[in-house]
Amino acid sequence: MSLIFNVLPFVFLFSSYYNVWVEKTRCAWAETADLKMVAYHDTEYGVRREGLNECFEVVCLEAFQAGLSWRTILHKREAFREVFFGFEPARVAAMTDDDVLRLCEAD
């Protein structure tokens, strides 16, 4: 019983700081109603990529982003994954000129 009385003051002391510990702090660009942007910020932004496909995807998406907003790229990411074979470098490297022309003509 005395253990509870010894620990209880610390619980109250630190409970006021609890919200500071668990709340996420977001960058200004992620403070938006766009759930894809928020999810990207909270789960991917600043996270180290380990796999070859993941790294290749980031490099490709950054290249596509030139002149566009990241929001635009993020909303089209699934389409990019589909046409670039899940960003498998060997499969993308094996694309022919006809494949590239087909993609350029697609909507």
pLDDT in tens, 22-68: 566 899 988 888 999 999 999 999 899 999 999 999 999 999 998 89
Q: Average of pLDDT values for 12-26?
A: 55
Q: Is-contact 55 88, C-beta < 8 A?
A: no
**pTM (global) more than 0.75:** no
**Residues classed as catalytic:** 40, 62, 70
Instruction: Measure CA of the first residue to CA of the last residue in the chain; give whole Å.
Output: 71
Query: 68-95 burial, b if ≥16 CB within 10 A, otherwise e?
Result: eeeeebbeebeeeeeebeebebeeeeee
Q: What CA–CA distance (Å, rounded) separates 69 from 57?
A: 17
